[in-house]
Structure 1
Amino acid sequence: MRNPFDLDFESVDGDSEPAQEFENEPETEVEVNVQPEQTDDGNRSLLQDEERRGDDLKERFIGTIDQGTTSTRFIIFDCTGVPIAKYQTEFRQIHENPGWHEQDPYELVESVFICIEEAMKTFLALGHSRSDVEAVGITSQRETTLVWDLETGEPLHNAITWTDTRTMNLVRELKEKPGAEDLVNICGLPLSTYPSSVTLRWMLDNLPDVKSAYDDGRAAFGTVDSWLIYNLNGGPQNKRHVTDVTNASRTMFMNLETLKYDDRLLKFFGIDPKKIHLPEILPSADREGFGEICEGPLDGVRITSCLGDQASALVGHCAFTPGMAKNTYGTGCFLLYNVGEKPVISKHGLLGTVGFQLGRDRKPVYALEGSVAVAGSGVSFLMNNLGFFRDSRKVSDLAATVPDNGGCIFVTAFSGLFAPYWIDDAKGTIWGITHHTQRGHIARATMEAACFQTKAILDAMEMDSGKKLTELAVDGGMSNSDICMQTQSDIIQIPIERPAMHETTALGAAIAAAFAIDVWKDFADLKYMNRANRATFNPKISTKASARMYKQWSKAVEMSRGWMEPNESDDESNE
């Protein structure tokens, strides 16, 4: 049985079919001008030069490690953004107690090497050589937290994922500490079960092996990117311990403006930087800082980019201009809005984060982010827990059996509600069930839950930025559902743009890696990237009808509050 955090669409968050080579994916060519003009002297025009450059880029290749919440993939792109070879594999999800979600650190690393090995077989079979892969980029799940012995490379506990809610009571305690209300102004993040800082504090308080290594000065803290880079570079042999600005901005330890660890933040969480090894913070694209792969078919190939998965998707959509936004419908749902070269601290429940920094000589670009805990995992819940279908790609077929949700509203608060609500004590609830209710109604309500929460995030972004979004670029598993995307357009009342090539997160890491080795020097070089054959969904219902639907959703959210008492989660985990 597939794990409950997977959605079996072709998506950017490890949610397509496992262990398949890259076959039958749409052939997406970069748009080039097809009618070049001649200049007066007969020389090739600028348009012809662009076409020639496109031909050159088709013979240059970048590999991307895309390590998602439920699976890992390795994709080789040519430098026009077309995927050439791919392999994907899933790994175990560990749920020992209610609300707990862990992963085996060794399996994460093993999955990466397996995917590289298998994708390279396809690449070589197509007539390419190993040396054709010029660089590798990494994108990964973000707040998932690991601690290991820097000297031996031994993990001191399983990775605790970003969806884990065991720290709920700790969050309540931290919110009562003096200075708690000031944290968001420094790091852009509110206190919740989401960031890595709270998870690390829990590990130090509850795991003797972690506390002992911390006291001895042996403990290395990192998110998944740091753990992978450490191991890809030989682990204890080289001890390369780094991260990038996008991942570091998710820990609650980094100052958003200085891009450095902040003593005030570390002190608040009781973290002594002299006792724990924190990864060096680098730009998202860097020629040398991330080292090189130490074994396997890409032994010696440089790693030149590293981004958190949602930041990578922002780059993959080429959302380089302030005011551009993307929404990823993977395990969760993540909407990022480019706000430019100065951080914006949200007043309406959003996260301030680093969008990307594509080189040491480039300024960081910041984003506002809204995070929805449950998107594709809601569809997997219908499949794995309720048996609605055996293939999650059938959710659209089931939803199409009914014209609307039949009055059903599904507040998918499996891990509480994230932005902009931040309701930790909400529980998943389905309202409006009658004798008329069918499975199709609940399928629609499940997809609509992500769409309604996206609407709430966009409203908050408009209030924070003072600007209304004119279109939304999308990717991820649920974005492949036409019904879901049409519903999303209806609810937010703006057009939805869906690229034909779905691997947007992996593409972002490839773009960043290519920037580091000067394949591109300017964002304008990427204006045609992944633009061909886009699908557009425009609103089909009135603004009044949309507002009526959203009002019903908002009422359901309020009714889902308060299902857990303050100490109830502790009682559950000790049963």
Structure 2
Amino acid sequence: MAKKYILSFDQGTSSSRAILYDNNAKIIGKGQRAFSQNYKYKNWVEQDPWEIYNTQLQSAKDLLKASKVSVSDIAALGITNQRETSIVWDRKTGQPIYPAIVWQDKRTEKQCLKLRKKKGDFIREKTGCVVDSYFSATKIQWILDHVEGSRERAKKGELAFGTVDTWMVWNLTKGKSFITDHSNASRTLLFNINTLDWDEELLELFDIPRALLPNLTENAGKLAVVDASIFGNEIIISSLLGDQQAALFGQTCFKKGMLKSTYGTGSFMLMNTGTSPKYSENGLLTTVAWTIKGKTHYAIEGNIFIAGAAIKWLRDNLDIISSVDESEYLAYSVKDSGGVTVIPALAGLGAPYWNNNVQGAIIGLTLGTKKEHIVRATLESLAYRTADMLNLMETESGIKIKSLAVDGGASANNFLMQYISDITRISVDRPRIIETTSLGSAYMAGLAIGFWTEKQLLEIHKVNKSFKPEIEKEEALKLYSEWTKIVFHIIQGSSL
């Protein structure tokens, strides 16, 4: 009897989720477990690798128990993950030698600034990326520099490095598979996006032994097999994708010029640029979107480090909202931000500024300022950052953008989506399923084994709501112009 379901693991920055889909991409069940973040020092962000893995495993077990689905009915597993987060472990014991250093971690920023000046163009030509602590290379380097004896052990092949996809597969297969895919590899600063291989010159530059690195694989196919002891039955792992590439695939952006913006902890805008890498002159990243059956698609990417995290910051740090959902209601309850502007640089500013010295700011406070104004200004700031990205995407691609596909948890916020449409002057299209990261992982996993076809996926994918501009063009231009002036002054101040 044909197997009925595709299982997707969506291992994110703050939680691990498992979602089960039927052959119409209908969600049959979900499981989700949050895990802790460790902010030991300023600009440091660490996670427990075992907590990452165990919460992912438990979310799947919760799902299977609640849905009463037999593992034998699962056709394949797709895995998508937070990118760049770096883990080094002992091959023999399987134990990490240091906590996972998260993509948000900035401890190596000074080193990156020096290297960017000396070798920035050289590295970008090979990797498509700017030299930044965001990527894996300097995180790995830091671990090898600070854990005694680790570099020598790495040279001997005693240690293993992986982004979260590699760590997950290693443990799910009981150490039988040590692999990473092209989309995740392209986020390390060690992978040449032209040759699709680890680059010896980059490895030498960062002093990272090749013996430490996983084997490379395409994004789709029969990549590995989950050990039967995990769920009581083997499951084929048929897709691996970095989270933002998965969202691009989940939005069915299969053709050149199609783009999406995901609003999760951060916000990430990707445009499919076809089968040749497109290098940015204005701060966008060039990355591998996916490789399937020997054919590689590339993307350009704009990164906003803080999106949904800004809303959680209002709740958890400022305590001015009791829930994330409340932000929408409060933003709508006032006619404007009351002159308040928020710069959401709580972890620096990503593309196109790439300035990690910039700190977050709330400007324009008066005796008349209410919490509603601050909440609204925070949401507005995410729309302005989206406009930053869209303007760059148009400049780099030469394509006039008429609509933006959105997804991720914060895309459920109607005020935010409407304001993005108002400022950018385009249609903002939210799909039926906003967990597009998980969906893209499932789509690719199913496609790899013939569970569905590309044509079927295009038919399945539906837009649930489109937001159209509701304010005048002149007003939108004025608001955005005021925002950019304030950002410029903030950046100037950060360099003093």
TM range (shorter): over 0.9
Instruction: Report if aligned partners of 2:155, 2:209 keep a CA contact under 8 Å in 1.
Output: no
Q: Which runs of 5+ in 1 are unaligned?
A: 1-55, 567-575
Equivalent residue pairs, number = 496
User: Aligned residue for 1:434?
Assistant: 366
Matched, 1:285 2:215: no
Deviation at 1:556, TM superposition (A): 1.6
Matched, 1:415 2:347: yes
User: Separation in 2 of the partners of 1:399 and 1:182?
Assistant: 45
User: Aligned residue for 2:187?
Assistant: 250
- Which amino acid is the alignment partner of residue 344 of structure 1? K
Shift in CA distance, 565/220, structure 1 to aligned 2, threshold 3 Å: farther
- Which amino acid is the alignment partner of residue 416 of structure 1? G
Task: From the two aligned structures, give the one with the greater strand fraction.
Answer: 2
Indicate the SS of the match to 1:527: helix
- Which amino acid is the alignment partner of residue 279 of structure 1? P
Match of 2:73 among 108, 125, 132: 132
User: Aligned residue for 1:106?
Assistant: 50
User: What's the Cα RMSD here?
Assistant: 1.7
User: Aligned residue for 1:526?
Assistant: 457
User: Separation in 2 of the partners of 1:537 and 1:299?
Assistant: 45
Greater relative CO (CA pairs within 8 A, separation 6+): 1
Deviation at 1:366, TM superposition (A): 0.9
User: Aligned residue for 1:268?
Assistant: 205
User: Aligned residue for 1:461?
Assistant: 393
User: Separation in 1 of the partners of 2:242 and 2:51?
Assistant: 19
User: Separation in 2 of the partners of 1:209 and 1:507?
Assistant: 42
Once the two structures are superposed, what CA deviation does each residue of 1:304-331 show, in whole Å capped at 9, x if it has no partner?
1110011101111111011111111100
Instruction: Report if aligned partners of 1:425, 1:562 keep a CA contact under 8 Å in 2.
Output: no
Shift in CA distance, 547/564, structure 1 to aligned 2, threshold 3 Å: closer
User: Aligned residue for 2:412?
Assistant: 480
User: Aligned residue for 2:167?
Assistant: 227
Deviation at 1:412, TM superposition (A): 1.1
- Which amino acid is the alignment partner of residue 147 of structure 1? V
Match of 1:313 among 247, 270, 275: 247
User: Separation in 2 of the partners of 1:290 and 1:318?
Assistant: 25
Superposed counterparts of 1:7-156, under 5 Å:
60-124=4-68, 128-156=69-97
User: Aligned residue for 1:490?
Assistant: 422
User: Aligned residue for 1:185?
Assistant: 125
User: Separation in 2 of the partners of 1:390 and 1:557?
Assistant: 29
User: Separation in 1 of the partners of 2:327 and 2:143?
Assistant: 38
Q: Which runs of 5+ in 2 are unaligned?
A: none
Once the two structures are superposed, what CA deviation does each residue of 1:76-102 show, in whole Å capped at 9, x if it has no partner?
101211110111001111111111111
Deviation at 1:480, TM superposition (A): 0.6
Larger radius of gyration: 1
Shift in CA distance, 403/169, structure 1 to aligned 2, threshold 3 Å: same
Deviation at 1:69, TM superposition (A): 0.2
User: Aligned residue for 1:561?
Assistant: 491
Shift in CA distance, 565/347, structure 1 to aligned 2, threshold 3 Å: closer
Match of 2:268 among 329, 334, 347: 334
The TM-score with structure 1 as length reference comes to 0.83
User: Separation in 2 of the partners of 1:309 and 1:254?
Assistant: 18
Superposed counterparts of 1:325-364, under 5 Å:
325-357=259-291, 359=292, 361-364=293-296
User: Aligned residue for 2:330?
Assistant: 398
- Which amino acid is the alignment partner of residue 88 of structure 1? Q
Indicate the SS of the match to 1:169: helix
The TM-score with structure 2 as length reference comes to 0.96
Once the two structures are superposed, what CA deviation does each residue of 1:413-465 show, in whole Å capped at 9, x if it has no partner?
11110011101210101122222221111111111222111111111111111
- Which amino acid is the alignment partner of residue 541 of structure 1? I
Indicate the SS of the match to 2:143: helix
Deviation at 1:502, TM superposition (A): 1.9
Shift in CA distance, 427/562, structure 1 to aligned 2, threshold 3 Å: farther
Instruction: Report if aligned partners of 1:87, 1:115 keep a CA contact under 8 Å in 2.
Output: yes
User: Separation in 1 of the partners of 2:413 and 2:226?
Assistant: 38
Once the two structures are superposed, what CA deviation does each residue of 1:481-522 show, in whole Å capped at 9, x if it has no partner?
11110000011110000012222111111111111111234x
Once the two structures are superposed, what CA deviation does each residue of 1:257-290 show, in whole Å capped at 9, x if it has no partner?
22111122222212232xx321111111111x23
- Which amino acid is the alignment partner of residue 457 of structure 2? L
Instruction: Report if aligned partners of 1:93, 1:103 keep a CA contact under 8 Å in 2.
Output: yes
User: Separation in 2 of the partners of 1:80 and 1:259?
Assistant: 34
User: Aligned residue for 1:471?
Assistant: 403
Between the aligned residues of both structures, percent identity stands at 37
